[in-house]
Structure 1
Amino acid sequence: MSDTYILGPARIALGDGSLTHGRIAVERGRIARILSEDGHSDLQPPDGALVAPGLIDVHTNGADEFLFNRDQGNAVEVASRAYARQGATGYLAGIMTAPWESMMHAAAEVSEAANELVEKGDPIGARCLGIHFEGPFLNPKFRRVHRGEWILPATMERAQEMVEACRGALVLVTMAPEADGVDEVARFFYDQGIVCSAGHTAAHYREGMLAIGLGFRTVTHAFNAMPPLDHRDPSILAAFIQESRTTVQLICDGYHVSPPMVDLLYRTLHDRLVLTTDNMPPAGSGYRIEGGVVRAEDGTIAGSALLMDQAVRNLMAYADIPFETAIVSATRSPARLLNLDRELGTIEAGKRADLSVWSDEYQVLATIVGGLPVFGGAHLYWPSKASA
């Protein structure tokens, strides 16, 4: 189909917390304008449907049975199709701590595969928006499933090699702010426009404020792989909650963080909360899904089985907020975190037509990337001439 049409009428969650009713004019893959409900439509969602921006996951390790570390470039197409089924139009490919050369090779292969999909033209699913390195500059005491022998001190040489391996696609790096060499490396990444995230860290409040001063702008998987938010000696999380320049990433599965704490975190942060999945396909005999999370053989939580659309529904339930409010933490908030909010995250004239279509029961019906349906196109239909 064409990437120029009028979609609607439908309820439209704009991505800024508000809800309107109308139609969306799409021209050459971008949002041209929002129209009133009445008038001609080329493409109609079912009755009662909602249209929202496409979801964005900034922390995922793969999809289905494919891991970016292990399957590298082969995982990109699988992840793109899988994320489209969740209503997501973008994601970062996460490279976890591994032998250094293996990490660099995986990053290069993922970047190349993502570029090849772009060069082919019409999208097949969600876009890979870049690379997220989770490690290897971590605190061994909070390494969790990241193997200790692969954790390294940060150096400028390694930082530059990371940038070069990603071929311009390095977007996010999770580091422990207190790890050796991170001060200099964080400043380097900040100057390069690469987002630094605090994670797998033993840092407390004071170190957190210092990290923010160095350019850290977000924290990875709140409450997990860090000290508890103690009332006498608060962890690094307190600094990122308090500082208005930052965001906090949350795995909203109800297991990594209990529902009451999700509610408390949302009440404090509102649109500074970023929903992520930390999705870890249970690939290999050493991992299993148990109790809603993915665990290693010794029982350590390795990641989540969460999907992005479920994260939105969970936030709605745990924080008792409507869809148009919850969707912000999966659309505009991650777009701002990645400095992509001029292109993505809200339904506004001039932005990419990256959209998700939901039923009145908040199930994903269709996903549109660059104006083209990449999932659930059968749920969108061309009105008859009589109804048009």
Structure 2
Amino acid sequence: MKSMYLINATIVLEQSVLQNGFVHIEGEKIKSVGKMVDCPPIIGEIVIDCIDNQYVIPGMIDIHVHGAGGFDFMDSKQEAFEGIAKALAKEGTTSYLATTMTNPISQISDVLKNLASYKENNSETGVAEMIGIHLEGPFINKDQKGAQPEHDILPPNVTLFKEWQKLSRDAIKIITFAPELDVDFELLKELKKMEIIPSMGHTNASYDEAVQAITHGITHSTHLFNGMKGLHHRDPGVVGGALLHDEVYVEVIPDGIHFHPDLLKLVVRMKGLERILVITDGIRAKGMADGIYDLGGQKVTVSDEKCTLTSTGSLAGSIVTMNNARMNLAKWLGLSIQEQLQITSVNQAKRLGLFNRKGSIQAGKDADIVILGMNGEIVFTICRGAIAFQCKDAFK
């Protein structure tokens, strides 16, 4: 197996920051981590000297992303899946949930089938890893559709979902739906049996309806504040329900557009860092120039880092990168580097039951590692032991 050494590094571990350390990677795994004085002899290996860089951190995990680099998962093509995986690595994302959106049944079925094939047949290292699927829609509320095509929205349907999970070869890990439309919580009950994370999103539920759904098993809230009823003093809405119940994890898009940055202070006070999950909700325009792009058959205008439906002006995903989201959090909240990584890596891995192999730098885990420059920029991204991205001046 090929070996790689990261030396003279400041390594961010889960419980501490290791100064003047090393990481030894063998194959796809981290073999050992320690102080440079304990570093094994390095002979004929790939060596990256990190002395002029800021931090070595675990790769970030995006559990809600639709596309990047000019591609969208709904394109349903191998070329698109590969293009997104490569584009995500540039922003420090080493694994992700491929996120679908409301479209005709046949189109969603085709995408799920092709994503399943891609996940099972593409073991290539050196690209961000697809670790599952986030099914966003079509079981949502038309009143909170956002950028989801209204004519393809459906009421929750257990039979159809089970067909889709079979097509995905059990790859669906999260489903976003409107629980107030789920009669007798039939879909929610099935999701609990199947151990799939049920998330309330694109929902018009009142506070009482949200609390009832949480009582019956909802444990997740999709892009908090967006696609749901907000806080009101007579109806705290879905936002109030999510914030007031400890069992609910909340996704946030820290781009400075989807909500006022100061609201994150409220979220942290209410949820603690343990229940916050940074996402990008990225679309195909991420990493591309301003212009007009397609999203589920709709035109999206991208200008000044804001994505809106050309027809209505509704927000339509984002182009924020995981690394920029991380740096925004550091600026707005004054979070330490370990706290930043808790909500961009650790929590996601734990939420998906993957912390035994992802989410932190530890011997035995996947070698998903990012090296940050002195200004917080991505210098290297390593995905399962292979370099997926390096900035052009990395070895100068």
Asked whether the two chains share a fold, i.e. TM above 0.5, the reply is: yes
| CA displacement at 1:49 relative to structure 2 | 2.9
Residues paired across the two proteins, number: 377
- The residue aligned with 1:114 is 119
Alignment check: 8 A CA contact 1:252 1:275 kept: yes
SS of corresponding position for 2:256: coil
Q: Which residue of 2 aligns with 1:104?
A: 109
- Structure 2: any 5+ residue segments left out of the alignment? 286-292
User: C-alpha deviations, 1:61-91, integer Å up to 9, x for none?
Assistant: 1112111113443321011100110111101
CA distance in 2, matches of 1:18, 1:210: 40
Q: Deviations over 1:348-377 (max 9, x none)?
A: 222111111111211011111112211118
Deviations 1:139-198 (A, max 9, x none): 111111212221111222111111012112111110111113471112212222211111
CA contact (8 A) 1:43 1:380 kept: no
1:267 aligns with 2:249: no
1:286 counterpart = 2:299: yes
Work out the CA distance in 2 between the residues paired with 1:33 and 1:43. Answer: 15
Secondary structure in 2 matching 1:168:
coil
1:291 shift after superposition:
4.3
- The gaps in structure 1 that reach 5 residues or longer are 382-388
Counterpart amino acid of residue 248 in structure 2 = T
Q: Are 1:276 and 2:274 counterparts? A: no
Q: Within 2, Cα distance between the matches of 1:73 and 1:211? A: 37
Name the TM-score, length of structure 1 as normaliser: 0.91
2:17 is aligned, of 16, 19, 23, to 19
Pair 1:338-2:352 in alignment = yes
Counterpart CA distance in 2 for 1:70 and 1:200 is 22
Q: How does 1:1-388 map to 2 (within 5 A)?
A: 3-14=2-13, 16=14, 18-21=16-19, 22-40=21-39, 42-118=47-123, 122-181=124-183, 183-268=185-270, 269-282=272-285, 283-284=293-294, 286-297=299-310, 298-376=312-390
Native 8 Å contact 1:9 1:38 kept in 2 = no
When residues 377 and 23 of structure 1 are mapped into structure 2, their CA distance, relative to the original with a 3 A threshold, is farther
| Deviation of 1:270 (Å) | 1.6
The CA deviation string for residues 214-270 of structure 1, in whole angstroms up to 9 with x for no partner, is 332211111001111123321222222232232110011000011111232233332
SS of corresponding position for 2:301: strand
| 8 Å Cα contact 1:200/1:225 also seen in 2 | yes
Q: TM-score, normalised by structure 2?
A: 0.89
Q: What is the percentage of aligned positions where both structures have the same residue?
A: 28
Q: Which amino acid aligns with 1:8?
A: I
CA distance in 1, matches of 2:368, 2:24: 13
C-alpha distance in structure 1 between counterparts of 2:299 and 2:25, whole Å: 47
Question: Which letter maps to 1:130?
Answer: G
1:3–1:222 CA distance, 2 compared to 1 (3 A): farther
Counterpart of 1:304 in 2: which secondary structure? coil
Distance 1:137 1:182 in 2: 15
User: How big is each residue's C-alpha offset from its partner over 1:99-132, in whole Å with a ceiling of 9 and x where there is no partner?
Assistant: 11111111111221232321xxx41410011111
RMSD of aligned alpha carbons? 2.1
Separation in 2, partners of 1:30, 1:237: 40
Paired with 1:155 and 1:23, the residues of 2 have a C-alpha distance of: 51
2:54–2:372: 8 Å Cα contact kept in structure 1? yes
Opposite residue 18 of structure 2, the aligned amino acid is T
Give the AA of the match of 1:95: T
Instruction: Give yes or no for contact 1:56–1:334 (8 Å, CA) kept in 2.
Output: yes
CA positional deviation for 1:26: 2.4
Cα distance change on mapping 1:228 and 1:145 into 2, 3 Å: same
Moved more, 298-307 or 262-271: 262-271
Q: Secondary structure of 1:244's match?
A: coil
Cα deviation, 1:274-322, whole Å, max 9, x if unaligned, reads: 1101112242382111342211112111111111111101111111222
**8 Å contact kept, 2:125–2:385:** no
Q: Is the 8 A contact 1:224 1:256 kept in 2?
A: yes
